[in-house]
Structure 1
Amino acid sequence: MTSPQRLPNSLTPLDQALDALLQGVEPVAPVELLLVEALRCVAAEMPALPACPPRAIAAVDGFAFAARDLVGASSYSPLPLTAPPIWVEAGEAMPEACDGVLDSDSVDMSGPMPQVLAEVVPGQGVRRTGSDIAAGRLAVEAGRRVRSRDLLLARAAGLERLSVRRPRLRTVNVPGGSVAAESLVESAQAAGAEAVSFTTVGRDATSIAAALDDSACDLLLIVGGSGVGRTDAAVTALASRGQVLVHGIALQPGRTSAVGRIGKTPVLVLPGAPAHAFAAWWTLALPMLDRLSGRRPRKTVNLPLARKIASSVGIAEIALLERRQGMWTPLAVGELSLDAIARAEAWRVISGGSEGFAAGSPIDAYMLRD
């Protein structure tokens, strides 16, 4: 018995498939998350931070003075004080009119009258207002990923939550594609998505269709069963529940991927083989998550090629790259091994209209470890 799934006579260009997937998709609504939960999510608009510290504070333990009052003081010419000096601990607010802190060795308290044995420079031993965080600064700019160092600023400013956009991803794993599915869930979480995974009870269309719940997700991902094998039925299942927009993409690896909709929810069907699944993930799923999260365009790194890349005309191919001595070294093109995927630092799509790149050509590549 043969599968009812068939690829069309001509494959859909990658850019057209991506356009179909992104059609009408807008960023999800912001949510307020605890700082630890906001890590790796994409920041939404948020208020400016107050100055930190809010006023001048002592940076060290010592005696607080006004620099202008100690001009000329030294061990050879001690300056007597008519009143006991003010002691401050590190982190305490500076007294009014004081702008410097001297350590205890610079003040002689042994006699009947305290004596200062050194001058103080304005700002010495003091953290000025806004020296850690200038008033008006943002903990994270909208559209940027929240990093650990961003949380440092938020905590210093007294924030407990951040406004972020966190798309909800539901992954439906068709038996046989669990290695790819589990890895993609981890990749989705690293990209700031809220990801949950389910495994269907079988590979048949009825079992897969039963798991296609679009009620609590912004992107539905089916991993496995996208091809034309006798037990492949993921695209048939999608057609029974919604609409198949594209099946068969001019992408190597990943050509059996499909794009569709269930109601208003975009659906992406990926092959179960890890290399094919990751190729479609990088080129289709990540741009979708970026759109849903309102992320700014991902940065690329431009380096010359250590050796040429040859590519077939008419189909987009994935190139995996490793950085060596300031150059991109190709690890694999089109045919991706698991070892190459694990070692790669960056990836690049070689357009279907290109025959590749000559050695020494500077090319842009997306980092896999951002």
Structure 2
Amino acid sequence: MIPTQRLPVSLTPLDAALAALRHGLEPVAPVALPLAEALGCVAADMPPLQAHPLRDTAVSDGWALRARDLVGASSYSPLPLPTPPVWVEAGEAMPAGCDCVIDADLLDQTGPIVQALAEAIPGQGVRRAGSEITGAGVLIAPGRRIRPLDLLIARAAGLAELNVRRPRLRVVNIPAASGEAVTAQLIAESARAAGADVVCIEAAARDATSVAAAADAGACDLLITTGGTGVGGSDAVIAALGRRGEVIVHGIAVQPGRTAAVGRIGTIPVIALPGAPDQALAGWWTLALPVLDALSWRGPRRAVTLPLARKIASTVGIAELALVEEIEGRWLPLAVGDLSLDAIARADAWLVVPGGAEGFAAGTPVDAYMLRD
């Protein structure tokens, strides 16, 4: 069968493809989500927090007293208490007039008079009002990913929802001859971990009409297709994108993933990823994640800089992805340009060798983006 389309003779540089994809993108509008749903999303503007705790509370179980009533008390000179002590448990509000909590065994209650066996200072065993959360700060800075620890603070502050930016991502899988959808599942799971609201759709067939119909199914902020970007007779994604919108780039100077494409349907950016997992991952890291970051108004991703344990050789004119493993404070290259599943499983981070470089010499400090927490 004669191929329906051909890759351009000249591949588009990765930076140019990404710039075209991000052109005109605006962050999505914030939404208020329940705390459990907000986990992993990118924070939007948050209202100032209320002070916490609202009142002085006991840090541990014990007797609530006034410190001034215990001055001079010791086990050798028990001091009778002028007022009866009040038992409090951890987290309980302090009784009026009490400013300290002492352990249960520091009171002698064997006789008719309760006696103190130790002194205390004001605030001992007490968490002061506003000491956990002052009430003047913001829970999470906008642009930062929400972590489980952030949810702890939110719950302690009595919040039920958080304001986040959660882009809507639609993943359209082009069915492979084998019937497997491992790549689409990988991209969907990666997107959810990145804080996106993900819907997965399976095209009815590999023809342009079926792919175009699947691409039209529902509103989204970013559309990603997996599979069908090559030059085979059944690779119809590019034709389908041309019917529904605009093909901006087909054929990107990145290895793996040269057959990836970018375009638009109306104002919606579209990324067409190859069906092979390693090629799709290359497009996910270099194209899709930056777009999601722009849509969610996320701050810059943190790179870890370490020297290379050995050199990385690369082909001039094409950006190549490399997987690295951290060994004794150095990046050990595992794969360059051809990413096996074994290398993907072992990798701690990834980096891009720019198209204008022949690689990096051993000992060169390089920036890599972490794949593990």
TM-score by length of 2: 0.96
Give the aligned partner of residue 277 of structure 1: 280
Give, in angstroms, the shift of residue 267 of structure 1: 0.6
Give the distance between the partners of 1:316 and 1:37, measured in 2 at CA. 37
Q: Where in structure 1 do 4 or more consecutive aligned residues deviate above 4 Å? A: none
> Aligned letter for 1:9?
V
> Aligned letter for 2:295?
L
1:101 aligns to what SS in structure 2?
Answer: strand
Give the aligned partner of residue 108 of structure 2: 108
Give the aligned partner of residue 2 of structure 2: 2
Give, in angstroms, the shift of residue 62 of structure 1: 1.9
Identity, in percent, stands at 65
Give the distance between the partners of 2:333 and 2:161, measured in 1 at CA. 42
1:296 aligns to what SS in structure 2?
Answer: coil
210-219 or 296-305, which moves further after superposition?
210-219
> Aligned letter for 1:335?
D
Give the distance between the partners of 2:11 and 2:125, measured in 1 at CA. 69
Give, in angstroms, the shift of residue 65 of structure 1: 2.1
Give the distance between the partners of 1:56 and 1:251, measured in 2 at CA. 60
Asked whether 1:49 is paired with 2:49, we answer: yes
Contact 1:82 1:113 in 2 (8 A): no
Change (3 A) 1:16 1:229: same
Give the aligned partner of residue 210 of structure 2: 207
Asked whether 1:365 is paired with 2:368, we answer: yes
Contact 2:4 2:232 in 1 (8 A): no
Asked whether 1:329 is paired with 2:317, we answer: no
Question: Aligned runs of 1:117-196 on 2, under 5 Å?
Answer: 117-176=117-176, 178-196=181-199
Contact 1:3 1:233 in 2 (8 A): no
Give the distance between the partners of 1:270 and 1:82, measured in 2 at CA. 78
199-208 or 254-263, which moves further after superposition?
199-208
Give, in angstroms, the shift of residue 88 of structure 1: 2.1
- Structure 2: any 5+ residue segments left out of the alignment? none
Contact 1:35 1:151 in 2 (8 A): yes
> Aligned letter for 2:57?
I
Give the distance between the partners of 2:218 and 2:84, measured in 1 at CA. 71
> Aligned letter for 2:194?
A
Asked whether 1:228 is paired with 2:231, we answer: yes
> Aligned letter for 1:79?
L
> Aligned letter for 2:174?
V
Q: 2:264 is matched with which residue: 257, 261, 276?
A: 261
Q: State the aligned residue count.
A: 370
Give the distance between the partners of 2:99 and 2:351, measured in 1 at CA. 55
Contact 2:100 2:125 in 1 (8 A): yes
CA RMSD of aligned residues (A): 1.4
2:252 aligns to what SS in structure 1?
Answer: coil
> Aligned letter for 1:136?
A
Give the distance between the partners of 2:82 and 2:144, measured in 1 at CA. 56
Contact 2:42 2:296 in 1 (8 A): yes
Cα displacement string for residues 188-213 of structure 1 (whole angstroms, at most 9, x for unaligned residues): 01101011111112111121111111
Contact 1:214 1:262 in 2 (8 A): no
Give the distance between the partners of 2:226 and 2:86, measured in 1 at CA. 69
Give, in angstroms, the shift of residue 215 of structure 1: 4.3
Cα displacement string for residues 271-327 of structure 1 (whole angstroms, at most 9, x for unaligned residues): 111111110110000100111111111101111111111111100000011111111
Give the distance between the partners of 1:307 and 1:182, measured in 2 at CA. 34
> Aligned letter for 1:48?
P
> Aligned letter for 2:330?
M
Cα displacement string for residues 130-186 of structure 1 (whole angstroms, at most 9, x for unaligned residues): 333332233322111111111111111111111111111111111117221111001
1:210 aligns to what SS in structure 2?
Answer: helix
307-316 or 132-141, which moves further after superposition?
132-141
Give the distance between the partners of 1:221 and 1:78, measured in 2 at CA. 76
Give, in angstroms, the shift of residue 123 of structure 1: 2.3
> Aligned letter for 2:2?
T
> Aligned letter for 1:92?
E
Question: Aligned runs of 1:24-103 on 2, under 5 Å?
Answer: 24-103=24-103
Q: 1:241 is matched with which residue: 241, 244, 252?
A: 244
